[in-house]
Structure 1
């Protein structure tokens, strides 16, 4: 739905309003990104696919996935969120139940690369457990991942085989992370999520987490601010 500022009603721009598997329907629409032309890329999670909707279209175009859950390079299993690197024509997908981040080359539909995870669910630095958010640093090329069921934020640099935990601690939702100082509270988000800003003493990298100071429970998405700040929602 598209809602204009101060409007009392929305405009349907994708989907039919009912669950379905056809090109004109969606089933649990999750992450969404918009390109410079106004085209939508939508995580159609329960259909295990990503659809592209052109402006004013009445149906979508299959961009990623097959519509059937699977673990092959061409399949997805509960895609949660997206990041569009439009300048390089890459679409990053948090492939939740495959515990990996997939990078699709939008110029060559068969060119798919696993850029993080893909080693089964687990707490190892080379593993993820239901990633639900992904963000790319345009400065460094590093990928930041909301590794939800591991209660941590992972950073994977280009061509890495494992990630580095920069917030939270794998598998422990009530264990303090490695941040040294607490800064300002940023405010409450919907559904009881909260955000606060923390600064790493050693690297001056900032992160947002939950209202228990250094504790990350279930982060659902994240956003990198290119001055060293990383924001993530944290379900309390």
Structure 2
């Protein structure tokens, strides 16, 4: 006789829900499966059991068969209780899952917000720091990412420096009291030298045949050379056009156009102590970092370089003997400038252009103008003074356009930096300007010859 065994397994509808059954277990007989559950029979129980238990079980089964209503009642109550228990467990599991999700949201969302704020703060800090070169290295050591941000912003900052601006109303810092020979006056001045060390400017007061030193903020100037009437004696000057200060020898090197010579004037002895070059129609002077002197020779249409070891003639470094417009020629060369690489910049006045001669070059290149005489920004009209900043921007006095123009490296046209408001004597106007220079702060100095004054245009930081 087969032995009837009722499953009491806790897992609903497991493939084998009776722990005593082995692989021979048949369909699920767990009561929680509902009406589909049937009483399963087996001939062998995997777990040994006493006969008494088996008989009792058999009797129970038989008794159950005798009272089918009781069995059905038991079967119907047992699955309901078990299923209710399972549902409660599932409900509890869902509650736990929801709580876990809420906890994770509480943790993750603030973390993301804080992270975003930190990133925004980093960006702001990097961009702000990058505007100051002194802070760049400090921040760059903290994070490679910050370094990248700063490098990008730093290049933008350098670019801003390229386009420096000046206030459009100039301040009269020398002369401006009418043309005359008083100590508070100038008379058709031309060249200028800014001496930051002595907080003063030296001006070639051409028609007064003297060099005037004007201290910053002073109402009057002091005679630094000449001033003893026009002449060719050792204590006299005649029509000085330009000058440079040789601090090594505590002297002034002066271009005397009317005397056709270049002289060294002792600031201590107040006399000419040496004639450096003679028979030269000098119009412009410059000195390089080696102390070599560069001079424009208006008569021979060339630029010469001179040092103490050479003859008075010096060495020709730019121009041909004949005037012309070719790359190796000049026509009425005037003011000059020498940069740190010893490249020469010269205003080629009659050709309405500025030429650049690289060191040891045999030909020059046009860096400003060269499009004929005119008022367009691509043109110049009788250029005179010239200076170049550390970014290779060329600043040139555009005389008869009454303006000073900046030409960036490789530009096809210039931009007006000061002037351009027609001929006049107002703070934002000039007459026939001559020379231009900068001080260490970047302020621009302009010699307004027709108005017998020197104007300073301060850097505009706004």
TM range (shorter): 0.7 to 0.9
**What does 1:51-70 correspond to in 2, within 5 Å?**
51-58=304-311, 59-70=313-324
The DSSP-based 3-state class of the residue aligned with 2:277 is: coil
If the length of structure 1 is used for normalisation, what is the TM-score? Answer: 0.74
Unaligned 5+ segments in structure 1 are 17-24, 175-210
Instruction: Choose which of 76, 91, 103 in structure 1 pairs with 2:356.
Output: 103
Which structure has the larger Rg? 2
Partner of residue 169, structure 1: 420
Report how far residue 56 of structure 1 moved. 4.3
1:229 correspondence with 2:443? yes
1:220 correspondence with 2:434? yes
For the residues of structure 2 that align with 1:6 and 1:212, how far apart are their CA atoms? 38
Instruction: Choose which of 92, 99, 115 in structure 1 pairs with 2:345.
Output: 92
**What does 1:125-164 correspond to in 2, within 5 Å?**
125-138=377-390, 140-164=391-415
Q: Tell me, yes or no, if the aligned pair for 1:13 and 1:56 is still in contact at 8 Å.
A: no
For the residues of structure 1 that align with 2:423 and 2:327, how far apart are their CA atoms? 31
For the residues of structure 2 that align with 1:123 and 1:150, how far apart are their CA atoms? 6
Deviation track 1:79-115 (CA, whole Å, cap 9, x = no partner) reads 1111101x323110111111100000113x2242100
Report how far residue 61 of structure 1 moved. 1.0
More strand by share: 1
Instruction: Choose which of 303, 317, 336 in structure 2 pairs with 1:50.
Output: 303
For the residues of structure 1 that align with 2:395 and 2:439, how far apart are their CA atoms? 12
Report how far residue 66 of structure 1 moved. 0.7
Q: 1:111 to 1:47 in 2, by over 3 A?
A: closer
More helix by share: 2
Partner of residue 282, structure 2: 29
Unaligned 5+ segments in structure 2 are 1-262, 452-462
Instruction: Choose which of 255, 259, 266 in structure 2 pairs with 1:4.
Output: 266
